[in-house]
Structure 1
Amino acid sequence: MRVGIVILPEHRWWAAEPLWRMAEEYGFAHAWTYDHIGWRSLVDKPWFDAVPTLTAAATVTSTIRLGTLVASPNFRHPVQFARELTALDDISDGRITLGVGAGGAGFDSQVLGQEELSVEQRSDRFGEFVELLDQILTHDQTDYDGEYFKAVQARRAPGCVQLPRVPFVVAANGTRSMRLAARHGQGWVTTGRGGDTEEAWWQRVAELSLRFTDICHEHELDPLRVPRYLQADAAPEFALDSVERFRDVVGRAAELGFTDVITHWPRNDSPYAGSETTVEEIASEVLPEL
């Protein structure tokens, strides 16, 4: 079991830099940041872009993997984004993982004045987004004519440090996106599918894990060889409420076949309100055991 932590891009760099350094020093396997223009209750609060944040994080760390949780087509085009990913992978010396999702119906989908898409349309767009990103990052030159995205002689050079490209961890709670994860992903990440209670949430996570196993078999993949990431703080309770709770979360995730658990750096208030002391205790008591 590997453990990752999300550091929201809400701090000026003088305050954010120590957090990224500590994530590595504490022994987390990967560290992530959100890729949004604005996010939920924090939309009127300070917020910074994911790409320069990860670039800066790459320059002050040396071993921890870094990534987006998750990038989406809401405001990114694969041609331009492929260039950013190539640069990130180069600066980090091959430590970037692309967490990628379909994009929701929140602020990111409205702020640019776009036409609102249905769930099916967002799924169609997501498929094009991932497919085109994959093609650009793995082919010297790409032409593409989709409904949502187009590319004319998009170049790859110099290519990614990681071959054949940066790994994709595809966010999926539905069958179509799970199949996309099986086709193009080097990992699957889920938030579960809601649930008013802790047990209801875990039950739905278990159902999703079984469904993904079936889809792996459909695509002739060994389900035990595909990394599975659980965004544990989508549950009704914060995973870092206590060391005991975190141990329970990791144990239950492992029983369901997950290889990675992701939590959030505690904040002073909601969402993810908690104490940094808990992070220190987990780093000293839990992570060394995994």
Structure 2
Amino acid sequence: MIMRVGIVILPDQRWSVAARRWRLAEEYGFDQAWTYDHIGWRDLVDGPWFDAVPTLTAAALVTSRIRLGTMVASPNFRHPVHFAREVTALDDVSGGRLTLGLGAGGISYDAAVLGRPALTPRQRVDRFGEFLGLLDELLRDGRADFAGEYYSAVDARSTPGCVQAPRAPFIVAANGPRAMRLAARHGQGWVTTGEKAEDLDGWWRSVAALAERFAAAEAGAGRRPGEIDRVLSLDAAPVFSLSSVDFFADAVGRASDLGFTDVVTHWPRESSWYAGSEAVVEKVASEVLPHLGRGPR
């Protein structure tokens, strides 16, 4: 089995606590460590909660090998011109270890806190298309002019550009057909959470169906089969993936059977979302990760 494994570390702890988790993620042998990019998230909105960009910058300084990234950044509160500057800085500080998870943005706290009018699903994907296109152009070409419905740029720059050429890789979140086409066009990877389901088998069926749809989008964009990495966020399922070592190993196997190249789990929290035990992370690191024939991104 060939599979890369990433872990999300929520930005919900002061750095005096969080730094240990980022160091351990590397020491344990995870391929990527991600964090959420939100102003506030669900019932954790009252905090503590910290911004993704300085969190990843700090993580880059306490690690040396593991890839680092957003899971996922969105247009809800980020402008591609300013975000391009943050991206180039992060890629530089990390020595070219940055991966950008990018999504269209939902209708949660981030979408409402700035007081902007609510967007329809179609409008959110339209905005995402502009966001991806302008960010891609800036990071690849170093400068851009753009006039769209949602974004504008006048002689924008991203000098000196990313350490990685032609830019830091994009992992594009998509479940719907239009967003999948954007992922197939701009992404070095595609990430999905599956669809909401009441039971675990139903969730896996949704993941299988989405994988088939993305294969069609990939072909439609003229990309080679397997050219785009396929990333599955395991904890959108009804059961937390790190509930036990055996459960995690089974989930990795099922994802591999469906053609996924990467899976993402979450660092266990004491309660609420992703409640679990850090002891399971340690056992996964010693009993599961060494047996995965993982390759470079």
Question: What is the Cα deviation at residue 246 of structure 1?
Answer: 0.2
Deviations 1:249-278 (A, max 9, x none): 000000000000000000000100000000
Question: What is the Cα deviation at residue 161 of structure 1?
Answer: 0.2
Query: What's 1:211 paired with?
Result: 213
Map residues 118-197 of structure 1 onto 2, 5 A cutoff: 118-197=120-199
Question: What is the Cα deviation at residue 44 of structure 1?
Answer: 1.2
In 1, the alpha carbon distance for the partners of 2:233 and 2:26 equals: 19
Deviations 1:127-148 (A, max 9, x none): 0000000011111321000000
Query: What's 1:238 paired with?
Result: 240
RMSD over aligned CA atoms reads 0.6
In 2, the alpha carbon distance for the partners of 1:12 and 1:235 equals: 28
AA in 1 matched with 2:263: V
In 1, the alpha carbon distance for the partners of 2:149 and 2:237 equals: 35
Query: Alignment partner for residue 106 of structure 2, among 97, 101, 104?
Result: 104
AA in 2 matched with 1:74: N
In 2, the alpha carbon distance for the partners of 1:225 and 1:278 equals: 33
Query: What's 1:6 paired with?
Result: 8
Identify unmatched segments of 5+ residues in structure 2.
293-297
Question: What is the Cα deviation at residue 156 of structure 1?
Answer: 2.0
In 2, the alpha carbon distance for the partners of 1:234 and 1:158 equals: 37
**Match of 2:34, SS?**
strand
TM-score, scaled to structure 2: 0.97
Query: What's 2:295 paired with?
Result: none
Question: What is the Cα deviation at residue 181 of structure 1?
Answer: 0.7
Identify unmatched segments of 5+ residues in structure 1.
none
Percent of counterpart pairs with the same letter?
A: 65
In 1, the alpha carbon distance for the partners of 2:65 and 2:192 equals: 25
In 1, the alpha carbon distance for the partners of 2:142 and 2:17 equals: 40
AA in 2 matched with 1:56: A
In 2, the alpha carbon distance for the partners of 1:154 and 1:202 equals: 43
In 2, the alpha carbon distance for the partners of 1:286 and 1:223 equals: 28
Change over 3 Å in CA distance of 1:257–1:120 after alignment to 2:
same
Question: What is the Cα deviation at residue 162 of structure 1?
Answer: 0.3
AA in 1 matched with 2:31: A
Are 2:35 and 1:58 equivalent residues in the alignment?
no
Question: What is the Cα deviation at residue 193 of structure 1?
Answer: 1.0
In 2, the alpha carbon distance for the partners of 1:218 and 1:155 equals: 32
In 1, the alpha carbon distance for the partners of 2:270 and 2:187 equals: 35
Question: What is the Cα deviation at residue 219 of structure 1?
Answer: 1.5
Query: Alignment partner for residue 23 of structure 1, among 1, 22, 25?
Result: 25
TM-score, scaled to structure 1: 0.99
**Match of 1:224, SS?**
coil
Deviations 1:201-247 (A, max 9, x none): 00000000001111111112122221100000000000000001001
